[in-house]
Amino acid sequence: MVFDFDGTLADTEEKAFNIYNQLAAKYKYSTVTMEELQHIKNLHIKEIKEIVDIPFYQFPRAIKEGQKLLKAESSEINAFCPDIHAFFTELRRDTDHTGILTSNIKKTVAQFLNTYEMSEEIEFIMCSALMSKSKKIKKVLRKFDLKPSEMLYVGDESRDIEACHKVGVDIVAVKWGYNTPHALERYNPTFMIDNLWDVIDIVKKKNKV
């Protein structure tokens, strides 16, 4: 059982929005309004790259600096699910392995887990480049000697769905994250959910197959 972090477990959208505009002012990129953000949430990451005018060669630097700024606020990141600790305690009864695969940095995720006293509930944190999640999903499969059919990934973006389809892993798309439900539906996720607790029902059904 593997989870994305930003937009799936952690509500980082507003912080990421503010950080982007902070960097935009610093490096003379185009800022984004809240109205424009709602449009962006319907787009794939590749389409977003075409809208924001960050030069391609500067994109990695912008991502890295943004992640550092978010890390500085990591103790203030809220979980979407208020009873997230209880959720993972329950989930661990029905799954052998539970981890996080994210494009964020490990220290930010670790601080979040510490805030919600979940460090013992999460077996691993694995970090990935923005467009390389399929490779890291394969790494998880090898690490735990799993077949693709034995893994479930929970994410909030179209790129999560694409990565899972590429390796044959079922994907649960959440409706509250960075991409809108409409954007997610275009990429045909295996499941879509309104509440994190719905994951447990999906896991129980998969375990019976």
CA distances from 189 to 68, 98, 109, 168 (A): 31, 20, 25, 12
The reported pLDDT for the residue numbered 50 is: 74
Give 164: exposed, middle or buried? Use CB within 10 Å, 0-12, 13-18, 19+.
Answer: buried
**Residue ranges in the chain whose pLDDT is less than 70:** none
The reported pLDDT for the residue numbered 48 is: 81
The reported pLDDT for the residue numbered 44 is: 84
Contacts of 151 (CB under 8 A, 6+ apart): 1, 2, 137, 140, 141, 169, 170
Which tens digits make up the pLDDT trace of 168-201?
A: 999 999 999 999 999 999 999 999 999 999 999 9
The reported pLDDT for the residue numbered 116 is: 96
Measured distance CA(133)–CA(42) in Å, rounded = 20
pTM strictly above 0.85? yes
The reported pLDDT for the residue numbered 114 is: 96
Reported as half-sphere exposure (CB side, CA atoms, 13 A), residue 136 has a value of: 20
Measured distance CA(7)–CA(103) in Å, rounded = 11
Q: State the SS3 of 116-151.
A: CCCCCCCCEEEECCCCCHHHHHHHHHHHCCCCHHHC
Measured distance CA(135)–CA(32) in Å, rounded = 31
